[in-house]
Amino acid sequence: MESAKKILKITRKLREEFNTIEESLKKLSRIKSIIEKKNRTRDEKDELIDHAIKNTQDPVVQQWLRENAESEVFFQLVNLACFIQDKLNEEANKEEEEEEDRKRKKIELVFLAHGEIGNLMIPARCLLPLTSITDVLLYSPWNCLLSTEAAYSIAAGSIEPHHRRFGCTSQTQCPFPPKAHTTLSLPCNWNSMKSTGSHLVPNIMVSPVGEKGDKAFAEFTDLAAHFGAPADNRYLIPYLARNISKVPFFAVMLAISLVLFFSGYKATVHLVACLGRSPKYAIMQEEYLKQQYAYTVDNTGMTVPRETIPSIYAPVFNMFKTVFGDVSPLFNG
């Protein structure tokens, strides 16, 4: 009799656990269907926002979601992420072997945008909201601009830390001597947000480099098709948006991570954007940022020698030239 009661108790508990799992799966299935919809109702948008808030632990991200729940910004970012996923699936479908398909679930996304940093500090983990984003890599020091050559090298995956060169980008008289742009302490690695973890970093704001249909940009570029082995599973995504202006980079990462989570992709994201401070008079925690990674004086730009770029694919290079201009930093010796 006692054994029967124990079995009944265990059975009830298992049934409750099963029902909980079933409800969770139903909820996830519904969220997935809302994400994939082109036209969402107000209730569906609220449900998606609520799901995003519950699945991110950082108050900064949660506050942004609440403040933007009534606008279309987050949902347009989700649509952008769905576009990325569709393109990834198209590329994966070209591969028939299962092993290749599994490989393609681990991808490198190169995100091209106009960028800047402000004096609001946020935990680096805000940029890795879900497990579908394995890391976010930044390449230039804080408060530093990028040249076309450096940006192109990041996209191609050919840049190495020892390739970095710095100089003054000002086309008028600069208040800093040439040496100030080149004398900085640089770590022998890139700025990994995964490694930085709970430590604070400046809030990165990104803005579009163009609109969909803009002839200067390809909407999605399979870099492996142009650069070969170093760029396997590496994809270039120019930030194209019709109605979105400046947004926090963590919001873009949240939208992309939500969509990739349901498709099984895991992405390392490489940000190709200038990280100059804005506005110019913003008071930054310079000493802290020098310790966190590196920080440059105003008007400093990062480039790489042309000989370190193995090959140049003109359409992609010209795309970068449109964003970063055709003037490389000047050097003093």
pLDDT at 66: 94
pLDDT at 48: 92
pLDDT at 275: 96
Q: Which residues pair with 111 in a beta bridge?
A: 237, 271
With contact defined as beta carbons under 8 Å apart, do 136 and 252 qualify? Answer: no
- Residues 251-272 have pLDDT tens digits of 999 999 999 998 889 999 999 9
pLDDT at 11: 59
Asked if residue 235 belongs to a domain, the reply is yes
Asked if residue 292 belongs to a domain, the reply is yes
Q: Is pLDDT of 99 > 60?
A: no
Q: Is pLDDT of 96 > 60?
A: no
pLDDT at 170: 84
With contact defined as beta carbons under 8 Å apart, do 255 and 96 qualify? Answer: no
CA 246 from chain centre, in angstroms, equals 14
Asked if residue 27 belongs to a domain, the reply is no
- Residues 145-196 have pLDDT tens digits of 999 999 999 999 999 999 999 999 887 888 888 888 988 889 999 999 999 9
Number of compact structural domains in the chain? 1
Three-class SS of 282-317: CCCCHHHHHHHCCECCCCEEEECCHHHCCCCCHHHH
Q: What are phi and psi of 116, to 5 degrees?
A: -160, 165
Asked if residue 8 belongs to a domain, the reply is no
DSSP secondary structure, 186-216, as one string: --SS-EEHHHHTTSEEEEEEEE-SB-TT-TT
With contact defined as beta carbons under 8 Å apart, do 182 and 167 qualify? Answer: yes
Residues 283-297: b if buried by 16+ CB within 10 A, e if exposed: ebeeeebeebbbbbb
To which residue do tokens 């019709």 refer?
A: 242
pLDDT at 22: 46
Closest-CA residue to 306 (of 152, 141, 146)? 152
pLDDT at 23: 53
CA distances from 27 to 22, 31, 145 (A): 9, 6, 43
Asked if residue 13 belongs to a domain, the reply is no
Q: Is pLDDT of 18 > 80?
A: no
Q: What are phi and psi of 215, to 5 degrees?
A: -65, -20
Region class of 134: left (phi > 0), else alpha (psi between -120 and 50), else beta: alpha
| Start-to-end C-alpha separation, the chain | 90
CA 157 from chain centre, in angstroms, equals 15
With contact defined as beta carbons under 8 Å apart, do 220 and 235 qualify? Answer: yes
19-23, 121-125, 157-161, 184-188: segment of lowest average pLDDT: 19-23
- Residues 25-62 have pLDDT tens digits of 567 788 888 888 888 999 999 999 999 998 888 899 99
The Cα angle at residue 325 between residues 158 and 316, in degrees rounded to 5 = 45
What average pLDDT does the structure give for the chain? 86
Band (pLDDT 50/70/90 cuts) for residue 197 is: confident
Which amino acid belongs to residue 286?
E
- Alpha-carbon distance of 148 to 309, in angstroms, equals 12
Residue 157 structural domain? 40-94+104-324
Band (pLDDT 50/70/90 cuts) for residue 297 is: very high
* Dihedral in degrees, nearest 10, Cα atoms 182, 183, 186, 192: -60
Asked if residue 29 belongs to a domain, the reply is no
Provide CB contacts within 8 A for 137, sequence distance 6+.
190, 191, 192, 193, 268, 269, 270, 271
Asked if residue 201 belongs to a domain, the reply is yes
Global confidence as pTM: 0.88
Closest-CA residue to 64 (of 192, 200, 205, 197)? 205
pLDDT at 332: 37
pLDDT at 190: 96
Provide CB contacts within 8 A for 58, sequence distance 6+.
122, 123, 125, 126, 129
Closest-CA residue to 139 (of 307, 324, 265)? 324
Band (pLDDT 50/70/90 cuts) for residue 100 is: low
Band (pLDDT 50/70/90 cuts) for residue 222 is: confident
pLDDT at 265: 92
Asked if residue 24 belongs to a domain, the reply is no
Band (pLDDT 50/70/90 cuts) for residue 248 is: very high
Q: Is pLDDT of 77 > 90?
A: yes
For residue 279, whether the previous peptide bond is cis, meaning omega lies within 30 degrees of 0, is: yes
Q: Exposure of 150 by Cβ count < 10 A (0-12 exposed, 13-18 middle, 19+ buried)?
A: buried
Q: Is pLDDT of 141 > 70?
A: yes
CA atoms within 13 A on the CB side of 93: 6
